[in-house]
Amino acid sequence: MKIDYPLKFYPILKERLWGGFKLNSLLHKEKSEQPVGESWEISAVEGSVSAVANGDLKDLNLRDLINRFPLELLGQSVLDRYGKEFPLLIKFLDAHSDLSIQLHPNDELAMQRHHSLGKEEMWYIMEAAKDSRLMFGFNQKLDKVSYSKHLKEDTLESILHFEKVQKGDVFHIPAGRVHAIGGGIILAEIQQSSDITYRLFDWNRLDDQGNSRELHTNLALDAIDFTTPQSFKTSYHDIKNKENTLIEGTYFSTHFLNLNQSMHFDHKFTDTFVIYIGVEGSGRIVSNKHEVSIQMGETILIPAQLQQFSIIPENNGIKLIQVTP
């Protein structure tokens, strides 16, 4: 059997203490009575494995799909590097209130402690309320000793770097970088396939049971990257009907597409799957005899076997994030 059509997956919604209701109202996700913080769009993480939502492979989960069609789905280059492990996790996040101050370990530390990949990630801001902000790294030079002193004296917030954001901003978060998403932000997140997070500080708030949330102070100390880059935001071009480079990371590459006319793609020589994330507008992905719609808040996986296809914008066009491992 060939995997010769674009794959949609059922979103996996995650209730979160800091979540809201915009994943439903803005991104067309299933309505929930409780605040939802995350929609896991394509995932092979244990306990949260995505299932196909369209076509002949409908209801087959991603792990089973890879086991049955590893080369056709992933491509040889991905198999050579990761075997049959799906290397990425794609999400949408609705931060109604501030997330905790946190970081993720690198591959070496995550494997040693959790038998897991680490987490490098990227954010694309889809909506931001006035004066909303993100937190990245530190506003001064630190080391383990000076950082530990601030932690002990409960002055951690004073040494953090905060940055106001707006729609269309892009940020790259390598493993080890302390960070947090502020309230009022909707974003698309591309990351390694990992769910390992070390929480440093949670604004002294309580969960719905009246308990303080668990912190990972000791685990985090050896995982923190204390370097302070000159710029945290990623600059990029927004040239219509072109693949504009966003991030060329260690684990994934991303491009921004702003289409108001049809664009044809030939991935004959890439030998990998490709993911498209709808961040604004709507359109169609057309290949052979197959046609799949995509709109803001939807995610499509193009199997490695499907090498030629076109994206056709509708109405006022479509904006997409293109992701390759």
Q: What pLDDT score was predicted for residue 212?
A: 79
Chain mean position to CA 148? 30
Residue 84, pLDDT above cutoff 90:
yes
Name the average pLDDT for the chain.
94
**pLDDT: is 210 or 93 the higher one?**
93
Spatial separation of the C-alpha atoms in residues 294 and 170, rounded to whole Å: 21
* pLDDT confidence tier of residue 45, bands split at 50, 70 and 90: very high
Can you list the domains of the chain with their CATH numbers?
7-221 (2.60.120.10), 244-324 (2.60.120.10)
Q: Residues with catalytic annotation?
A: 199
Chain mean position to CA 218? 26
Identify the residue whose tokens are 């949260």. Answer: 48
Spatial separation of the C-alpha atoms in residues 64 and 195, rounded to whole Å: 20
Tokens encoding 229? 């880059």
- Name the 3-class secondary structure at 309: strand
Spatial separation of the C-alpha atoms in residues 105 and 113, rounded to whole Å: 10
Residue 100 is classified by DSSP as: P
Spatial separation of the C-alpha atoms in residues 247 and 234, rounded to whole Å: 8
| Burial category of 248 from C-beta neighbours within 10 Å (exposed 0-12, middle 13-18, buried 19 and up) | exposed
pLDDT tens digits along 258-286: 999 999 999 887 899 999 999 999 999 99
Q: What pLDDT score was predicted for residue 205?
A: 79
Mention every residue, 6+ apart, whose C-beta is less than 8 A from residue 267.
274, 302, 304, 306, 307, 308
Mention every residue, 6+ apart, whose C-beta is less than 8 A from residue 159.
138, 139, 140, 142, 147, 150
Tokens encoding 237? 């071009």
